[in-house]
Amino acid sequence: MDMQQWLYSMPARLRSLFHSNQVDQEMKEELREHLDQQIKENIARGMSAEEARRTAVRAMGGITQIEQQCRDARGGNLVEDFVQDLGYGCRQLLRNPGFSVLAILCLTLGTGANAVVFSWVEGILFRPYPMVAHQERLFALAGTARGETGATELSWADFQDLRRSCTMCEDAFVSKITGSTLSVGDHAETARGSIVSANYFNAIGVRPVLGRGFETSEDVGSDSHPVVVISYDLWRDRYKSDPNIIGRMQRFNNVPHTIIGVAPQGFYGTFVGWAMQFWVPASMEETFESGGYKLESRDERWIEAYVRLAPGVTRTQAQQELSAIGARLATDYPTTNRGRNFAIWALWETPFNNARTLLPTLEVMVAVVGFVLLIACANVANLLLVRSFTRRHEMSIRLAIGASRVRLLKQLLTEGLILAALGTTGGLVVAYWCRHALVLLLPRRSGVAMYLPGQIDARVMALSVGLCLLVTLIVGFFPAFHTRKLDLAGPLKAESAGVVGARGRAWMRSGLVVLQVSLSFVLLVGAALLLKSLEKIRTTSPGFTTTSVVTTGVSLVAAGYDEKRAKTFQDELIDRLSALPGVESAAFARVTPLGYGTYSSTPIAVDGYQPSLEEQPALEYNQVGPGYFSTMGIALLSGREFTRTDDENAPLVAIVNRTMVARYWKGEDPVGRRLQVKGRWARIVGVAADSKYESMREATKPFFYVPLRQDFVRGPVLNIRTHLPLPAVSGTLVREVHALDANLAVYEMITLQEQVNRSTSPQLVAVTLVSILGGLALLLAGVGLYGVMSYAVAQSTRELGLRMALGAGAANLLRLVISRGLRLTAGGLVFGFMAALALTKLLAKLLYSVSPHDPMVFASVLAVMTITATSACLLPAWRASRTDPARVLRD
């Protein structure tokens, strides 16, 4: 329809929409006029009055039909019908409040679970950084190394080369998470921040609301630009929104920084998992990172970065260009870059933040909530089917007086739409409440809660509306399908009794129950597998003692200790702690296993091991103090532990793990052999047992240790082996630390078991969520089965009464009903079993040493479902057994 015609048609359309009664009256008048004229003409031809009328009506072919056809011909009818159906549907729902509330609650649950998970996927994986421009073109940038799976960090120098050479990148910026103790007034607490390249704020398109971002020169030099941009929340909460904040000095890690800007409200940086509170330029790296000045070395890999691709560039194209740049760097700088390259990842696969850890969980959740929605729909469809039975009288009458089947279908779909729309609205409200709930399932660390907000934006809304329409179609389909079989005469004659007359519908309802049972079975199997896996993870030995060892840290870097002072302090503290009753031993280490810290990685060379041309062996290692292995309970298989004498003045030494021995020395005891670390040769003095280093789920990997004194860091973690309770150790430690220096703070103290538990929190999240939803699914399936059985019993009282009259006892009827219910359940379980066998493979990424087809899990879920199904049938069966044959047959 072109514009002009559309304009011309508007008056008639608007009139029939808003003055439909008048338009209808006029149409009737017009038709009556025509009829009168025809009658007059017929009379003039000599017919009797009665005959004239009859002939005229026959010529027109039925006034009512013509009226309806005229209404249909008016295009506005679609809207008009819809408004009418809407009103009618609402009245229908209000007439049955119990039914309506139940149906809407079911759908709220289903759509709500979906909207919540969508909001998490959107807020954590797809658009994780509020206010950051063009996230659809943003990719995580990290390094790769031959022989290592996954990502490595990048060196500043390599990053600068990449930024200069990449033509397909619109921009590239560094954002490396760091932390600091922040003291404002007398209140000190941990703050999270990012070390960023100077182009950071420009590249992400975020303007500070006060002051400025960084200038190009500010990421050059060694600790040369102590400037900081703080977050809006920090400014509001800690500085009371001081309008004169710009230019004020604030100590971060004991170095005075000038506050040059305040970021806008709602900007939380670019790290999934934590809300950033401050940003410092890369030139301040030494103050925040251990290991000295790294901006000019290609060997020091410490940064995490992002690139934004130019519009129209695909990920593959960009990756090709980056690989070419990486290959060139490997040729130009073979000693540092051989076998290394660049790689980009979509934001949801970012290897260096919590996106990667949550991705498998959220993937599974998307599937799980899809199941829950289907189960909820099946329940509502079942409810609607019951109602369509009680409404078939109404439907038949409407058909009989001339409504078309299409019109009835529209009516039923409209009613479905009302339910779906109310359910979806409820679901979005639920999602709004729960959008930040994911973080509640994760344990708090170091007193700072993680920041994992869900986001309900236009895309999530659109998806929810799409789901709403899908639900409408699903729940509207079943009753509509049923009207297909409606014949005009049947229901008008008499209410037929018994299940026989309703076989088609009974079949459909049973089918829906079978579907529910099978979907619930799959969900419960998933939940049980995850539960068993978590149990396995938590009971598996990580290779070190978890119960009687605590881990903590002391704020040496924040207090501005230099290397010499830090060394003295560490030795004195260990001496004092070891002398305490109840403390067995204590040792510093750079990183606690399974903690948040990341290990250093270094290229190595091994005496007598010839790497292939392209291989550049590089391994992760830990710097540990004297007594580390006995403190942690890591067995030494050969040789000795590090001692106080393995210091900076002594020959370099190393301890390697068993897997490393197997890889580089073919299993021969390497004690006394040499290992090259960071270009210097160290002698191997011991072999340690394998243990878990970063994750409970990791495979055993080659790893080695060097003495802390020979590769020093100022801010290591402290591990204490003791049988004292945690609060007692904590109090003692604070006392001892303050005895040495009252200005030092002691970090949060936890047992290694707690550390293990925290590292497995993604599994815990998955278990919790899938268990909750699996439980709900079981409940819904139980309710569905109960509904079908109660309905069947209520409909067949006559049959039951007859059976009783013919001699069936109460026990027979009880058995009859329960066995029918169990037959349905068995059908569902068979399908569920097959579906679960096929689908649990999707869980593999989250499972630890549990087969996706674990027979114990399948068996126990079978048992649980059978028990639930039996209990769901008990009440209807009991009612059936109480049938009074005399009364039923009399009625």
Partner 1 sequence: MSKPSDLVQGTLDMLILKILALEPLNGWAISQRLKQISSDVLGVSDGSLYPALHKLQHRGWIRAEWKPSENNRRAKFYSLTRVGRQQLEKETASWNRVSAAISGIVQLKEA
Binding-site ranges for partner 1 (CB under 8 A): 1, 4-13, 16, 26-27, 29-31, 33-34, 37-38, 59-62, 65-66, 69-70, 72-76
Q: Which residues contact 491 (CB under 8 A, 6 or more apart)?
A: 392, 393, 396
Closest by alpha carbon to 306, among 426, 196, 231?
196
- Measured from the CB atom, is 34 or 567 closer to partner 1? 34
33 vs 215 by CB, closer to partner 1: 33
**Least distance (Å) from partner 1 to the CB of residue 71?**
8
Q: Is the dihedral of CA 807, 811, 814, 820 positive or negative?
A: negative
Q: How far is the CB of 26 from partner 1 (least distance, A)?
A: 7
Cα dihedral 602→603→609→612 (10° resolution)? 140
In this structure, are strands 680-688 and 653-657 parallel, antiparallel, or unpaired? parallel
Shortest gap between Cβ of 20 and partner 1 (angstroms)? 13
**Residue 30 CB, nearest approach to partner 1 (Å):** 5
Nearer to partner 1, 42 or 768 (CB): 42
Q: DSSP strand E in 220-290: where?
A: 227-230, 249-252, 255-262, 278-281
Candidates 227, 327, 332; CA nearest to 283 is 227
Q: Quote the DSSP letter at residue 152.
A: B
d(CA 267, CA 144): 30
Hunting for tokens 């270009």 — which residue is that? 679
From the CB of residue 758, how many other CB atoms can be counted at a distance below 10 Å? 17
Nearest CB to partner 1, comparing residues 53 and 459: 53
Provide, rounded to whole angstroms, the least separation between the CB of residue 28 and partner 1: 11
**Shortest distance in whole angstroms from residue 396 CB to partner 1:** 21
Q: How far apart are CA 258 and CA 234, in angstroms?
A: 15
Within 8 A by CB and 6+ apart from 612, the residues are: none
Place of tokens 């200790």: 561
Nearer to partner 1, 44 or 579 (CB): 44
Q: Which is nearer to partner 1, 70 or 580 (CB)?
A: 70
Cβ contacts of 276 within 8 Å, gap of 6 or more = 177, 192, 193, 194, 231, 268, 269, 270
CA 746/CA 732 separation, integer angstroms: 11
As measured in angstroms, the least distance from the Cβ of 60 to partner 1 is 5
Q: How far is the CB of 414 from partner 1 (least distance, A)?
A: 22
Q: Rounded to the nearest whole angstrom, what is the least distance from the CB of residue 397 to partner 1 in the complex?
A: 21
Distance CA 479, CA 224 (A): 74
Kindly provide the b/e burial profile for residues 826-857, where b requires at least 16 CB atoms within 10 angstroms of the residue's own CB.
ebbbebbbebbeebbeebeebbbebebebeeb
Single out the residue of 378, 380, 398, 396 nearest to residue 88, CA to CA.
398
| Min CB(47)–partner 1 separation in Å | 17
Q: Which is nearer to partner 1, 6 or 88 (CB)?
A: 6
* Region for residue 31 given its phi and psi (left: phi exceeds 0; alpha: psi -120 to 50; beta: otherwise): alpha
What span, in angstroms and rounded, lies between the C-alpha atoms of 413 and 418?
9
CA–CA distance from 523 to each of 51, 430, 508, 859 (Å)? 72, 21, 23, 14
Please state the closest distance from residue 2 (CB atom) to partner 1, in A: 8
What is the 8-class DSSP label of residue 746? Answer: B
- DSSP-derived 3-state class of residue 171: strand
Is the Cβ of residue 70 or residue 184 nearer to partner 1 in the bound state?
70
Q: How far is the CB of 508 from partner 1 (least distance, A)?
A: 31
Residue partners of 678: CB distance under 8 A and separation at least 6: 299, 602, 603, 711
Q: Minimum distance from CB of 401 to partner 1 (Å)?
A: 16
Q: In angstroms, give the least distance from the CB of 413 to partner 1.
A: 22
Closest to partner 1 by CB, 61 vs 256, is 61
Q: How far apart are CA 828 and CA 833, in angstroms?
A: 8
Considering the complex, state which of residue 16 and residue 382 has its C-beta at the smaller distance from partner 1.
Answer: 16
Task: Give the residue with the Cβ less far from partner 1, 75 or 885.
Answer: 75
Shortest separation between residue 4's beta carbon and partner 1, angstroms: 6
Distances (CA, A) of 841 to 529, 586, 768, 851: 11, 44, 19, 9
Give the contacts of 135 (CB within 8 A, at least 6 positions apart): 126, 127, 128, 129, 347
- Bridge partner list, 192: 179
